[in-house]
Amino acid sequence: MRRYSAFAIARQAFRHHEGWERAWRSPEPKARYDVVIVGAGGHGLATAYYLGKNHGIRNVAVIEKGWLGGGNTGRNTTIIRSNYLQDPSAAIYEKARSLYETLSQDLNYNVMFSPRGVMMLAQTEHEIRGYQRTAHANALQGVATEFISPRRVKELCPIINLDGPRYPVLGALWQPRGGTARHDAVAWGYARACSDIGMDIIQQTEVTGVQREGGQVVGIDTTRGPIACGKLGIVVAGHSGVMAERAGFRLPIESVALQALVSEPIKPVMDVVVMANTVHGYMSQSDKGEMVIGGGADGYNNYTQRGSFHHVEETVRALIETFPIISRLKMLRWWGGIVDMTGDRSPIISKTPVEGVFVNCGWGTGGFKAIPGSGWAMAELMAKGHSPLADAFSLDRFREGRFIDESVAAGVAH
Amino acid sequence: MLTFRCPYCGIDACETELAPGGEAHLKRFGPGSADADFEAYLFLRHNAKGVHFERWRHAMGCGKWFLAARCTATLEVFGTYPAQTPEPPQDIVAAIRAKRPDWSLS
Ligand SMILES: Cc1cc2nc3c(=O)[nH]c(=O)nc-3n(C[C@H](O)[C@H](O)[C@H](O)COP(=O)(O)OP(=O)(O)OC[C@H]3O[C@@H](n4cnc5c(N)ncnc54)[C@H](O)[C@@H]3O)c2cc1C
Ligand SMILES: [Zn+2]
């Protein structure tokens, strides 16, 4: 693979940009792989990448029913932060955030990580106490956050209306090294790096069945025929329940729609990410100038990638009170993704009842930020049988009552 | 927007009038039951892509809970029935079969 660099751009400029090679190969599937990953979203691709990079396992295929990055990875609002409450969450989200800091260099692909700072507004007395508690927990976990005053909020984000009559801004939890990244680039960068170390990314191929012998996985059925494998990683977000059924077990997961929208592009007005959990809305400004807005998930099971109109209306209505400047903006695009929700709002990175089958799912409304850390942990789990970052997120925590309750940190969908 | 006919007041209620309540027909397992049954009752869900039985409450209307059969892959509603019904009634099953011939009640 030819490396991307300023020189490469200059060289190609003289060749009318005709010398660029494809970022990843599209090979025919082989008869057998040591590891097959189902789902070429960020989490699946990152799992494959760290299997190769950290554990030397390279006879790997990533199989995707649509196009890579076309699931939630290409539909999210790209907020990256690690200011969670529980220790296992802080560990994996902060691992991910810190990997994002150098991901562009590591992958030789510009993922446009922008640590512009993330603030979560406290708009009720309860939220003040909740976020102060999180700030203390983060201090003990080594995650840099602080609780800031309304005045500081206004300095960091001048377009905010502090004393909106119903929901005044009473302070905020501020993570200065949180931010955003380019979602597609994260998927593309991992895909290119995987392909470069000899892994096969097979798109437009659905995994339709899991072949087992004596409780052990031996291969998969796909729309392009059977493929044998030693281990199988199921990393399919909203379709985790469907894939689990094909492998013969059930998951504590429900799939619902989560929506987002962007406004028409305007000049720069805001260089931080603001989340407002009480009113279920959040906003940032993209490099193109669009205001990127998201809100809460729908309350009923859904696989259609279309959500309820009134949820979006509620989000926008609330945000207009906090950001009066957006009240005249037109909406440019609006979309939905199917997110995989667990009861404790924490992910599952785990072995399963089928020997050799592993799942990585349950990231729900907030897994983009976790992609590098999740791939790191999942790869270690698949290679070694356990991983310090993943162990707390095992499936049996539900049976054992070991919940990792992040319903406050994940109160708004992001 | 989703619309369901409330089986009690007969009104075609749209989603903004209703509150969703998750999967229907769960078998309750309480204290003293096997761990696996208790776990399944509390957490493990069908999460079907296709026909799904679920609970809704006519929150902004008569206030009552009812059950519905709906397709999660198309958002089509097959019918609704009172919450006291322990399993999907015949007419609902027939309505589903008419549109999904290879579907079976599992
Ligand atoms: C509107 C919205 C906003 C969000 N905002 C944020 C945010 O601001 N910050 C944040 O951290 N997170 C956010 N999220 C959550 C985040 O997008 C997800 O948690 C994350 O992208 C999940 O990545 P993934 O790789 O697990 O899943 P996906 O990217 O969905 O990838 C799964 C892939 O599996 C494939 N697949 C499924 N079944 C099969 C099969 N049988 N065979 C082959 N392939 C299959 C799918 O086609 C898909 O490409 C948001 C999500 C949405 C929908
Ligand atoms: Zn009614």
> What is residue A4's predicted lDDT score, i.e. its pLDDT?
96
> What is residue A408's predicted lDDT score, i.e. its pLDDT?
63
Tell me which ligand sits closest to the C-alpha of residue A365.
1
Tell me which ligand sits closest to the C-alpha of residue B59.
2
The pLDDT confidence band at residue A1, using thresholds 50, 70 and 90, is: confident
Question: Residue A194 in contact with residue A58, Cβ under 8 Å?
Answer: no
Statement: residue A342 has pLDDT above 60: yes
Statement: residue A410 has pLDDT above 60: no
Question: What gap in Å lies between CA A90 and CA A110, rounded to an integer?
Answer: 26
The pLDDT confidence band at residue A414, using thresholds 50, 70 and 90, is: low
Inter-helix orientation angle A87-101/A371-384, to 10°: 110
> What is residue A166's predicted lDDT score, i.e. its pLDDT?
86
Structural domains in chain B, CATH included, are: 3-99 (3.30.2270.10)
Q: Given the CA of residue A70, which atom of ligand 1 is nearest to it?
A: 49
Which pLDDT tens digit goes with each residue over A124-164? 999 999 999 999 999 999 999 999 999 999 999 999 999 98
Tell me which ligand sits closest to the C-alpha of residue B65.
2
Q: Given the CA of residue A63, which atom of ligand 1 is nearest to it?
A: 43
> What is residue A151's predicted lDDT score, i.e. its pLDDT?
98
Which pLDDT tens digit goes with each residue over B35-90? 999 999 999 999 999 999 999 999 999 999 999 999 999 999 999 999 999 999 99
Three-state DSSP state, A8 = helix
Q: Whose CA is nearest to atom 6 of ligand 1?
A: A414
A217-224 contacts at long range (C-beta below 8 A, 24 or more positions apart): A217/A247, A217/A354, A217/A355, A217/A356, A217/A357, A219/A32, A220/A36, A220/A38, A220/A63, A222/A29, A222/A63, A223/A65, A224/A29
B90–A contact, CB cutoff 8 A: no
- Average pLDDT of chain A? 95
Which pLDDT tens digit goes with each residue over A258-277? 999 999 999 999 999 999 98
Distance in Å from the first CA to the final CA of chain B: 28
Question: Residue A193 in contact with residue A107, Cβ under 8 Å?
Answer: yes
> What is residue A74's predicted lDDT score, i.e. its pLDDT?
97
The pLDDT confidence band at residue A412, using thresholds 50, 70 and 90, is: low
Which pLDDT tens digit goes with each residue over A54-68? 999 999 999 999 999
Question: Residue A363 in contact with residue A347, Cβ under 8 Å?
Answer: yes
> What is residue B11's predicted lDDT score, i.e. its pLDDT?
96
Q: Which of A254, A304, A308 sits opposite B47 (nearest CB)?
A: A254
A300, A306, A359, A399: best to mutate for the B interface, most B CBs within 10 A: A300
Statement: residue A165 has pLDDT above 90: no
> What is residue A413's predicted lDDT score, i.e. its pLDDT?
53
Chain A, nearest residue to B45 by Cα? A252
Which chain B residues contact residue A255 at CB under 8 A? 47, 49, 72
Statement: residue A368 has pLDDT above 70: yes
Chain A, nearest residue to B43 by Cα? A252
Q: Are strands A291-301 and A254-263 parallel, antiparallel or unpaired?
A: antiparallel
Question: What gap in Å lies between CA B68 and CA B55, rounded to an integer?
Answer: 6
Question: What gap in Å lies between CA A52 and CA B28, rounded to an integer?
Answer: 45
Residues contacting ligand 1 via CB (< 6 Å)? A 38-44, 63-66, 70-73, 75-79, 206-207, 235-237, 239, 243, 258-260, 294, 337, 339, 363, 365-369, 414
Which chain A residues contact residue B49 at CB under 8 A? 239, 241-242, 255, 303
> What is residue A409's predicted lDDT score, i.e. its pLDDT?
58
What residue type is assigned to position A72 of the chain?
A: N
Q: Which of A252, A303, A398 sits opposite B72 (nearest CB)?
A: A303
The pTM of this model reads 0.96
DSSP string, A363-388: -TT--GGGHHHHHHHHHHHHHHS--T
Distance in Å from the first CA to the final CA of chain A: 35
Q: Report, as an integer, the average pLDDT of A32-43.
A: 98
> What is residue A278's predicted lDDT score, i.e. its pLDDT?
85
Question: Residue A201 in contact with residue A195, Cβ under 8 Å?
Answer: yes
> What is residue B106's predicted lDDT score, i.e. its pLDDT?
73
Question: 10 Å Cβ neighbour count for B60?
Answer: 12
Question: What gap in Å lies between CA B3 and CA B20, rounded to an integer?
Answer: 12
Question: What gap in Å lies between CA A102 and CA A108, rounded to an integer?
Answer: 10
In DSSP terms, which residues pair with A202 in a beta bridge?
Answer: A63
The Å distance, Cα B22 to ligand 2 centre, comes to 18
Structural domains in chain A, CATH included, are: 27-109+182-252+344-400 (3.50.50.60), 118-179+255-341 (3.30.9.10)
The pLDDT confidence band at residue A200, using thresholds 50, 70 and 90, is: very high
